[in-house]
Amino acid sequence: GAVVSQHPSWVICKSGTSVKIECRSLDFQATTMFWYRQFPKQSLMLMATSNEGSKATYEQGVEKDKFLINHASLTLSTLTVTSAHPEDSSFYICSARVPGTGSYGYTFGSGTRLTVV
Amino acid sequence: AQRVTQPEKLLSVFKGAPVELKCNYSYSGSPELFWYVQYSRQRLQLLLRHISRESIKGFTADLNKGETSFHLKKPFAQEEDSAMYYCALKGYGAQKLVFGQGTRLTINP
């Protein structure tokens, strides 16, 4: 089946540094990818929708200058957390729509646990 | 506005007992509703969707437009059903999924 590979699975960084998270579609072309943030014991909150070759659409309240999304190819989307602070510590999950699967074809990455110290 | 509400954060039942995970939604049009499941240390995966009206792993869910609900049910719970369950909504013509808060289901032996 369609698989999305997300790396790294966990990362620890110092406050003030930037961290990049990659999301790759392994056996399909993903024109649309989604980035979610999940706080402990809470739901997945959509941060932005990423479309290949165009600017990402950010949800209300999400700082686009802090959470940089790049979707330069049909198989790769990246999320860069810039100038990270401890409050950015969270679980980040990417998702992609699988072409030809209609409205239900969403596949999810395994997530990245970001800890900012 | 689109909203999905799962009123129970935690639900614990005994093996063999019926289980129902509640989901209510708010959407002005005709939504598509889904149930996703996340087993321990695994990624989120689709369990079922209202359009298909199918039973997956013994689970069913019926869309009740009058009550704006999409509750997930299983007549006889099994230990392997222990997981995190998310109800999700997709608006007509939309790309994104809106998730509920999730319910952690624990099946006790």
Average pLDDT rounded to a whole number, residues A29-47: 89
Of A43, A97, A108, the CB nearest to B43: A108
Strands B3-5 and B10-14: what pairing?
A: unpaired
Place of tokens 């940089």: A68
What secondary structure letter does DSSP report for A3? -
Q: What is the mean pLDDT of chain B?
A: 93
Kindly report which listed range (A42-46, A94-98, B5-9, B49-53) carries the lowest average pLDDT score. Answer: B49-53
User: In the prediction, which pLDDT does B61 show?
Assistant: 94
Q: Assign A22 a pLDDT band (cuts: 50, 70, 90).
A: very high
Nearest CA in chain A to B94: A103
Higher-confidence position of B100 and B1: B100
Does residue A103 surpass a pLDDT of 70?
no
> Considering only CB atoms, which chain A residues are within 8 Å of B45?
108
- Collect all residues from A whose CB is shorter than 8 A from any CB in B: 32, 34, 41-46, 49, 93, 95, 97, 103-104, 106, 108-111
Asked if A92 contacts B29 with a C-beta cutoff of 8 angstroms, the reply is no
Residue entry with tokens 């392997």: B80
Measure the CA–CA gap between B76 and B60, rounded to whole angstroms. 12
Contact B102 A103 (CB under 8 A): no
Interface membership of B98 toward A (CB under 8 Å): yes
In a 13 Å sphere around the CA of A91, the CA atoms on its Cβ side amount to: 14
Å between A32 CA and nearest CA of chain B: 8
Given a cut of 90, whether residue B9 has pLDDT beyond it is: yes
Vertex A47: Cα angle to B88 and A21 (nearest 5): 115
Structure confidence at residue B38 as a pLDDT band (50, 70, 90): very high
Cβ B96–A44 below 8 Å, yes or no?
no
How many CA within 13 A on the CB side of residue A32?
15
Among the partner-chain residues A41, A44, A49, the one whose CB lies closest to the CB of B99 is A44
The SS3 call for residue A86 is: helix
